[in-house]
Amino acid sequence: MGRIGRFFGLLFATGAIVFIVAAAGVGIVLWHYEQDLPDYTQLRNYEPPVMTRVHAADGSLLAEYARERRLFLPANAIPPLVKQAFLSAEDKNFYTHSGIDPEGLARAVMILIRGDKRVQGASTITQQVAKNFLLTNEQTFERKIREALLSFRIEAAYSKDKILELYLNQIFLGLNSYGVAAAALNYYGKSLHELTISEAAYLAALPKAPSTLNPYRNRDAATARRNYVIGRMQDDGHITAAQADAARREPLAINPRSLSPNAYVAGYFAEEVRRELLDRYGEKKVYEGGLSVRTTLDPQLQVLARKALVDGLVRYDEASGFRGPMRSINISDDWGVPLADIPSLGDVKPWRLAVVLDSNETSARIGLQPAREAGGEVSRERATGTLTAEGVRWTGRRSVRQTVAPGDVIYVEPYEDKPGQFRLRQIPDVSGALVAMDPYTGRVHAMVGGFSFDQSEFNRATQAMRQPGSSFKPFVYATALDNGYTPSSIVLDEPIEVDQGNGEIWRPENYDGKPTGAHTLRYGIEQSKNLMTVRLARDVGMPLIAEYSKRFGVYDDMMPVLAMSLGAGETTVLRMTTAYSMMANGGRRIRSTLVDRIQDRWGRTIYKHDQRVCQGCDVEKWDNQNEPRLIDKREQVLDPLTAYQITSMMEGVVQRGTATVVKEVGKRMAGKTGTTNEAKDVWFVGFSPDMAIGVFMGYDRPRSLGNSATAGKYAAPIARDFMKVALKNKPDVPFRVPPGIKLISIDPRSGMRATGAGSILEGFKPGTAPPDSYFSDQPRAGVNTPVSDRAIGTGTGGLY
């Protein structure tokens, strides 16, 4: 017994020594790896990169900007079904373990012992949080040790719900989706609360290998993994056997969300918002900051604006004839594949790309471009239609066969009332822009910067600097009205010579080349008389007109030369529409805006466009106090009485002048056309009492639109088409008359008091109205007297 006792004593002592040495060794190893562990406390204040979302005015989603498509949801906002699916798939004992799965760790050690350097194991959710947030994806034994140490510390520092929240918002799930909320949207077009058992199980299957389990490339493997997760959910008691069987029978039906501004043909608008956000906050804030942006876009008006502009561009372009097919392809085999390979514009619907299959004198059979499935493969469906003789009549060619040939790739548009029949279309060479705005706030309801954003991202509403031509004249006339002239003041429409100071003489001419004698200011703007405008500008003074143009934001620093009075400078459609809005709103300065409000990721408002103060809007209850009222401290850039006078004169442009086509709107409208030299640019800018519109048309590389081209022929009809539908359900209200204006019936040709047929109501400021009687001692308006002689050239509105 003694000898045996000593043996066991020695064995025990040896074992103890080995244990102590081993424990010391483990301790030393752990101490070594603990020295450079990342700071896990940073998880407490972690803000994951979250995408910025841009909404239209009605709340509909317009665009998203992100490097990682992620929506952050707190743990209490994630439905139990989603949590259960991920716990069953990844870590069923999550709520009971202390951060480490002994079985998974043992498996990793056994693999290492076998000599495999790629250490693998069943990591817990806590370990995945440690790896994803604080470590790398390097598959080594050292990384596993650090991962385990961090897991213990994370479990000690944070609640289980916090750890699960971090995990479910951080993981990558394929389709550029980070976190479960973004994945639900991108795979199914749903919120988390709308997911079925089958859908939640598939998302929970993805963390292992999102690329391998791609539903398009590896549908069988993806379905098998989903069904495995469903089985685990049943085993863990989260769902019943019947629910599991029903979920397995469901097909792997992926319905990826297609988010594009093209849904509202708002590519130009969305891109302008993106540029503004980048200028204001920088890339990191925009692509990772989770901003919520409420824009001013009215989706319905945007669709109408785009249609009006495109119809106008197409009208002009088709009048110039057919330029031929886009290209030709081989149709001897399957024509669908080569046709699908041709890039088509996504924002020109209902236009479609097609190929001519065969043709005769009266029609052609066409094949429509097949769609590509979500996985990238060309759909096997082949749709065909008929290109009719009526559909090519605009080309001026005698038959369909002379217009297109087999293999020609063309754009076509379906007839609304003739199923299966199409008309020929072509992408116009000419371009243009349209802006619709609230004249009281500067909120841009619609913006179209060209025919197609997919074709060209250059925004002709904000980036194209073009001459406004005669659409600038209202600012010349408003300057005169604000400085002594009246709408009935007389100015000569006769030839004038201007010495330009360099030995050259400038001799401006009217559009029709004909002088017409003495006329009122109203006549000058209604008929867009260049000679009258130049004379008026010389009398008022170009430095003063340059100051007014700066007030209105048309130009920043206009050269004070007389040619500028005819719109020879360069500006943008957005600037012109904003400037006209200030005349429509009674002379108040406004800033155009595409953004109403911006909130940060926590819902705090960090930007608001409307800076007016609502006095009394924040009271808790009604206690017979005064009604709330808006305090408007915006600058008055034009006398309200002058603003009404120039508005009334531009209403005459629509009723009797160069924009009579706009009368077809059927509502009160005011505005001005603009045609530049050689008709390189045509404009119409105008407004109703509650909406302003600016339209421009011209080639990107300026060239003449034709000898007979005028703004009244091409730009004004675009404005008419838009305003007719935009104001369809709006009441026809008159322009607001400010206090102080006296309305007097006059003859619009002479400016004298008159009644009966042909007379109009003219607005006069106090003390400027024509005399009641011309048979008195008072001088007669527009007739030379000693007083009026002295007034000539002084800016008081005498005969000039």
pLDDT tens digits, one per residue of 491-515: 999 999 998 878 889 999 999 999 9
Query: Which comes out higher in pLDDT, residue 275 or 623?
Result: 275
Give 793's pLDDT tier (boundaries 50, 70, 90): very low
Q: Measured between alpha carbons, how far is 719 from 87 in angstroms, rounded to an integer?
A: 59
The pLDDT of residue 155 is 76
Band of pLDDT at residue 220, cut at 50, 70 and 90: very high
The residue among 191 and 379 whose pLDDT is bigger is: 191
Read off the pLDDT of residues 304-356 as tens digits, 9 standing for 90 and up: 999 999 999 999 999 999 999 999 999 988 999 999 999 999 899 999 999 99
- Under the banding of pLDDT at 50, 70 and 90, the label for residue 789 is very low
The pLDDT tens digits of the residues spanning 271-303 come to 999 999 999 999 999 999 999 999 999 999 999
pLDDT tier at 111, thresholds 50, 70, 90 = low
Could you give phi then psi for residue 139, rounded to 5 degrees? -95, 80
Residues 6+ apart with CB under 8 A from 780: 752, 771, 774
Task: State mean pLDDT over 475-497.
Answer: 96
Q: Does position 168 have pLDDT exceeding 80, yes or no?
A: yes
Report pLDDT for 118.
47
DSSP H or E stretch at residue 7:
helix 2-34
pLDDT at 97 over 60: yes
Q: What is the mean pLDDT of residues 19-32?
A: 51
Which residues are within 8 A (CB) of 494 and not within 5 positions of it... i.e. 6 or more apart?
515, 517, 531
Statement: residue 794 has pLDDT above 90: no
How many other β-carbons are positioned within 10 Å of the β-carbon of residue 283? Answer: 12
The pLDDT value given to residue 239: 95
Give me the pLDDT at residue 235, please: 94
Residue 50, token pair as written in the block: 């979250």
449-476 average pLDDT score: 97
pLDDT tier at 785, thresholds 50, 70, 90? very low
> Between 75 and 139, where is the model more confident?
75
Per-position b or e across 705-724, b if 16+ CB within 10 A of its CB:
beeebbbbbbbbbbbbbbbb
Closest CA to 123 of 89, 85, 73, 158: 89
β-strand 629-631 against 613-615: which pairing, if any?
A: antiparallel
- Per the CB < 8 A criterion, the answer to whether 667 and 688 are in contact is yes
**Which amino acid, 626?**
N
Q: What's the pLDDT tens digit per position in 418-433?
A: 999 999 999 999 999 9
What is the rounded CA–CA span in Å between residue 742 and residue 53? 51
Give the pLDDT of residue 24.
53
Contacts of 394 (CB under 8 A, 6+ apart): 318, 322, 424
Residue 408: CA count within 13 A, CB half-sphere: 23
Q: Which residues contact 442 (CB under 8 A, 6 or more apart)?
A: 578, 581, 590, 591, 592, 593, 609
SS (H, E, C) 444-468: EEEEECCCCCCCCCCCCCCCCCECC
* Tens digit of each residue's pLDDT (9 = 90 or more) over 189-207: 899 999 999 999 999 999 9
Which tens digit of pLDDT belongs to each residue from 709-747?
Answer: 999 999 999 999 999 999 999 999 999 999 999 999 999
HEC assignment per residue over 201-244: HHHHHHHHCCCCCCCCCCHHHHHHHHHHHHHHHHHCCCCCHHHH
Q: What is the mean pLDDT of the chain?
A: 87
pLDDT at 3: 65
Please state, in angstroms and rounded to a whole number, the distance separating the CA atoms of residues 241 and 247: 10
Whether pLDDT at 783 is above 50: no
Closest CA to 582 of 617, 602, 611, 553: 553
Question: How far is CA 167 from each of CA 78, 96, 126, rounded to the nearest angstrom?
Answer: 12, 17, 8
More reliable by pLDDT, 627 or 299: 299
Model pLDDT, residue 123: 82
Residue 617 has pLDDT above 90, yes or no: no
Residue 169's nearest CA partner among 180, 177, 154, 159 is 180
* Helix axes of 2-34 and 141-157: crossing angle, nearest 10 degrees: 80
Q: What is the mean pLDDT of residues 554-558?
A: 95
Give 662-706 pLDDT, tens digit per residue: 999 999 999 999 999 999 999 999 999 999 999 999 999 999 999
* DSSP label at residue 185: H
Percent of the residues in the chain that have a pLDDT greater than 90, as a whole number: 67
Residues 350-372, mean pLDDT to the nearest whole number: 94
Per the rule left: phi > 0, alpha: psi between -120 and 50, beta: everything else, 647 is: alpha
Ranking 25-29, 541-545, 607-611 by mean pLDDT, the lowest is 25-29
DSSP per-residue codes, 719-736: HHHHHHHHTTTS---PPP
What's the mean pLDDT in 99-103?
A: 72
Higher pLDDT, 180 or 8: 180
What does the pLDDT average to over 375-404? 90
When comparing pLDDT for 251 and 624, which is higher?
A: 251
Rounded to an integer, what distance in angstroms lies between the CA atom of residue 227 and that of residue 380?
29
CA–CA separation, 525 and 727 (whole Å):
25
Check: CB of residue 477 under 8 Å from CB of residue 525. Answer: yes
pLDDT of amino acid 450: 97
Compute the C-alpha angle 383/387/393, nearest 5°. 160
Active site residues: 90, 470
Phi-psi region of 265 (alpha: psi -120 to 50; beta: other; left: phi over 0): left
Radius of gyration of the chain, Cα coordinates, nearest whole angstrom: 37
Task: Give the mean model confidence (pLDDT) for residues 356-377.
Answer: 88
Is pLDDT above 90 for 541?
Answer: yes
